[in-house]
Structure 1
């Protein structure tokens, strides 16, 4: 054995060790985001130990030159032994050998972990079931990426998988980008890719000439990745919060209520801070939903007008002698990214906003035409109708020709909805008392508020059937309470709609301008029904058991002051309709009007969509850009005298167009195949073959065998010829998604398509 062969094998062993350590570092970097979702505990140590044990077993097995299948089987054996000893030893033989009882104990652990993830609040407490899931997943990931990197030699593909795993916690519990964690992951992946490249290099290659382009490429890729993560990621639309008494995945508001959705509650955060001159903190509405189709309450598609125009919110129109109270509420957005602005109802003016905002006269809500609610501080003036009990009992719930969508029932509405509505309201003789009877029935103790019941009891279906099942089970969250109330009221011929917004906040010890500051958290996102009354407008009700404040009006004798007495009248009260622009709930829909964001009528701000489209195009261009950087690096190295770099240019071109590049084929045989089957130039390939053969057998450091720029020019010509001979579809893919980024010459995946000529 020559000294060169010995040094080559020693270098390969050293390269595999460095590559294994680089892979371990990348796995640990991907594990860091999990600590945002699960409190650090035994699972962290277990995951690190198992990943280390699996990779160490693979490294030792390869030292004995075992086949790839045997290496993976040994790693799997290490995984089974570790998981059995740590989590299931009480069911195993000698604490290590699994038994049938061991396999029977796995499903309950897995189910309990999934349940804790589904219904828990982040960060989750460390629990054996969660540790079992996390540690086991980390071990399986280590086995997979070890095979992909050290056997298949596809580090970029493994890096994509590792990055995808690291993104799962960020999707579950969105926060601001953790720059340090991302940089650590980026450095670990770049180190992994470079370690894999170095492990394939021969020790006699001229490292000094090759190293010039590598750091520049690595820095360029790292800079692009950091810019995308830190700058571009916040421009993407925020994942939405599901209404219904609990959070979905993100600090926003989803105005589409799906009855079949179960509610997940990540870490609770403060979203708003509110203070008001009213006697108590008000409900804050975001938008209303009148159309119920396919099990989904959808936002109203109605006209919008500029907030500061005279056709904006306007004054409140009520019947004669109906008292109106004016309140002023100040809102500071702490952590809420939404186009829907939380406002008290019925708002007549909103001031202090930055950016372009529009009013929706139909439901007195405010939406953004550019930007979001994040960072806004504003003041809402609301004129609240205060009819007496005697007045509200005289008014009908209906009105002249309201919109069909506020009174329509789904086709084939289950009988239980109609029958229970009639049964519960049988003793009432006016619309208001019927609604109060419904409200009292829902809140009277027969129903239980539960975020888990819809999933556990299996009525996470859609449509009115879900409401019917809720009325049978009598457990659910506010979406079910509000939907059942609204549909039951519609069965009594009353117009109803659903409101999405926030419950009143919790009083804090802070006081500003003699007003108590209330804190509104993300868990207070809520849905409640409204019913339209003549001479009053839309009146909110609160049927959800155990939440909010139930609706009730007082007799005239108990109301303070005389509404006709100017000394006691509320400033801004409008006891009768006026000729000024008002928020008429019966206003027709005009297709020419500006529509709400996300509705099909147009007029929405196109900039966010354009930004997303540009970002998608940028991401699609990344493979081309990285491939171009690599090609330029190899070209520069080839012109500097590195024949191996020029030869790699030709091999990469062959892989890109689907030509096999096996490790068992000599350069001269490979070149002859390119000439015979793929239309390459014999002269150019002869120059390339002479260059690589001379470099392979030349003494170390000798330059007498260097062909100058001829080898690099020949490699460039061969690449152009192979692309020209390939089918058009293959040629396009070779440019925009080159396979050579993830498939290396000589690897087990360097197979090819049939010959192109």
Structure 2
């Protein structure tokens, strides 16, 4: 039969566990949109924990409680997600069980193609509710059966961190505080139930918990913003299966092969031709995968420039354009912008800019329903100027040139064969572009899949050069890799083709263009000194190939095709314009060179903040020790001699005075007076009080409490006065009593050596 105290403690632990699970699930809302699944998960968790509590109050074995909880878990999931095939609506039938793999598969597809926060469908909702219910069963037995709340705390903290790892964002302070309070409540109830006979230990645990909580919250709120920002995470796949996001990993084939074409954005521009829209830049290539850039970022201000003007040689002409973009069905952390952008205004939410490639990205936001204006400064060199410029530069680093050692011979040999007659790097690149766009190649979305080389790695490039059919990913990757074999720095851009002219834009000063999901595109860029990153268009039958006119013609570039010609991501469509020609980041630019507001913090302030955080962390043991000592003295003042005696023992441990477990209070008191200079009257008062309570079990007069507290304080002061100054400081800063308990074997051995 459970005692009233045990029943109360079990009820409180169950309530605290429910609160802790709920708090740990709050960060999930950053990746999963709340909905009916949230209510279902809360209902199932409450039912499972309630059933476990009832089983324990009825003194049922733990195994029986587990069976009951598992039964409720199965019946509830069946009623919520499989009642149409279940017996009586909640008992799973063989047909019900057979639907589970389909639900899990659907959940996997939602996770793969969704963009945070995902609105869970039936499959994903089933997996979420089932997982939370299973977690509740496990933690219920960890906390209430095994009485290991600290282990449960570790598990809940790990669960709460998963969404943050997936999509880094600012610290969710309210969620952190709620989870901390719930976990501390669990630890407090468990500690009190274990030490029900000692008020001082219970109060000491409470004071310690409060001290840890206060310092932990302070460190989280103050220190976290000063830490280096986590690497950006990138969405991939499509939303709802219609390719309405941007896949930065060059797996664009699935998006382009979607059965339905969706309008993703519209744009208006005063440029003579609509620009390509860049979203993601990929510079690192390991031979298998092109990785999106994860460079330093700057905040995008509400007004004013995001990036500094491109550093272009003075003799190069520069054109200034303005483009207004309205995003619709595009759910991506990457923002499509013409290039090279200098100013982006009108955005809602927190957005970051990458100066090295002039792209805009959000750590947790979305491009959907954004309306913004982009200012660009595009270099317009003549044919003679770009032919005279060398490629590359020491400021670029090694990533844009790196290639693995095992590059298939066909790639380098073909690149050298095609460009053998070129007299300049630009002419070599034009030769490559012309070759890819010739009749020797054919655009196809399906041929790479059928032939088994649908990718962007070296093997896929080698197969593509033999099959000579593919889509933009294969053309862009092959061009970039071949340029690197010629020792030219190259990278790939993922974004959108310019779009189709809207009928409403005909005859207006600023034309309006509509961009669809099928116009998702990839193209290569090569860096020219004094000009910047120059885009090329090798994809056969799409876009307009990059070219420049001679300065003697009176224009800086070849005249592009008329804007009213449409562009789509299908072979044989009408071209519109070449990629914007110009510098994407400018040589020598860094995050500290932008004129807009930046994320950078001055070195002096950063060092000072780091020192402050370090001192704060170092102060944690002293703060916790102070709170515990104060709690013990308060308990002693209330008439608890055990608390007063424990305070003296802790002081002795901190100062390196042995406190053996087999030594009686009388022998310990004699040693304190004889060897360490403690006042005999104070020590005798404390010793007599603790012996009376421990051996005679006589209650102590409450009026003696202040005498006990004062005596304990004086004994501690006298012990500290007899040790050297460094020892006193060490006892304050690193109090050993927090980890070394009086009477333990390890403590006795350590203290004997220290003495």
TM class by shorter chain equals 0.5 to 0.7
Matched residues in 2 for 1:688 and 1:520: separation?
A: 84
Is this contact kept in 1: 2:41–2:129, CA < 8 A? yes
After superposition, what is the alpha-carbon deviation per residue over 1:712-737, rounded to whole angstroms, capped at 9, x for unaligned? 4499599989x99xx9xx99997599
Match of 2:634 in 1: 636
After superposition, what is the alpha-carbon deviation per residue over 1:407-466, rounded to whole angstroms, capped at 9, x for unaligned? 77542212454577699999999852531443688881246899xx9xxx9999x97457
Is this contact kept in 1: 2:318–2:377, CA < 8 A? no
Size of the alignment, in residue pairs? 658
Distance 1:31 1:483, change over 3 A: same
Is this contact kept in 2: 1:650–1:716, CA < 8 A? yes
Query: Is 2:444 aligned against 1:445?
Result: yes
Matches within 5 A, 1:592-671: 607=603, 610=607, 613=610, 617=614, 620-621=617-618, 624=621, 625-646=623-644
Gaps of 5+ in 1: 1-5, 248-256, 265-270, 368-373, 570-582, 599-603
Matched residues in 1 for 2:267 and 2:18: separation?
A: 48
Pick which of 535-544 and 40-49 moved more.
Answer: 535-544
CA RMSD of aligned residues (A): 7.5
Is this contact kept in 2: 1:326–1:384, CA < 8 A? no
Distance 1:553 1:54, change over 3 A: closer
Among residues 20, 26, 41, which one is paired with 2:20 in the alignment?
26
Query: Is 2:53 aligned against 1:55?
Result: no
Is this contact kept in 2: 1:542–1:550, CA < 8 A? yes
Match of 1:167 in 2: 161
Query: Is 2:520 aligned against 1:530?
Result: no
Match of 2:380 in 1: 385
Query: Is 2:139 aligned against 1:141?
Result: no
Match of 1:575 in 2: none
Distance 1:41 1:685, change over 3 A: farther
Matched residues in 1 for 2:536 and 2:30: separation?
A: 38
Distance 1:148 1:430, change over 3 A: closer
Among residues 60, 63, 75, which one is paired with 1:85 in the alignment?
75
Distance 1:328 1:112, change over 3 A: closer
Matches within 5 A, 1:358-397: 380-385=375-380
Matched residues in 1 for 2:636 and 2:469: separation?
A: 72
Is this contact kept in 1: 2:636–2:706, CA < 8 A? no
Is this contact kept in 2: 1:313–1:364, CA < 8 A? no
Is this contact kept in 2: 1:244–1:526, CA < 8 A? no
Q: Name the SS of the counterpart of 2:444 in structure 1.
A: coil
Matched residues in 1 for 2:326 and 2:267: separation?
A: 6
Match of 2:433 in 1: 435
Q: Name the SS of the counterpart of 1:278 in structure 2.
A: coil
Is this contact kept in 2: 1:244–1:479, CA < 8 A? no
Shift of 1:497: 1.0
Gaps of 5+ in 2: 239-247, 256-263, 297-304, 347-351, 361-366, 560-581, 594-599
Query: Is 2:542 aligned against 1:552?
Result: no
After superposition, what is the alpha-carbon deviation per residue over 1:298-345, rounded to whole angstroms, capped at 9, x for unaligned? 97999xxxx999997244656xxxx97553568999xx9x9x999855
Is this contact kept in 2: 1:530–1:539, CA < 8 A? yes
After superposition, what is the alpha-carbon deviation per residue over 1:106-160, rounded to whole angstroms, capped at 9, x for unaligned? 7776565445324322333434543444334334433454455445655455444
Distance 1:285 1:238, change over 3 A: farther
Match of 1:38 in 2: 32
Matches within 5 A, 1:449-488: 464-465=458-459, 482-488=476-482
Distance 1:656 1:326, change over 3 A: same
Query: Is 2:530 aligned against 1:540?
Result: no
Is this contact kept in 2: 1:277–1:328, CA < 8 A? yes
Is this contact kept in 2: 1:81–1:97, CA < 8 A? no
Is this contact kept in 1: 2:114–2:237, CA < 8 A? no
Matched residues in 2 for 1:739 and 1:595: separation?
A: 47
Q: Name the SS of the counterpart of 1:530 in structure 2.
A: strand
Match of 2:709 in 1: 709
Matched residues in 1 for 2:503 and 2:690: separation?
A: 78
Matched residues in 2 for 1:41 and 1:732: separation?
A: 51
Is this contact kept in 1: 2:464–2:470, CA < 8 A? yes
Matched residues in 1 for 2:108 and 2:653: separation?
A: 42
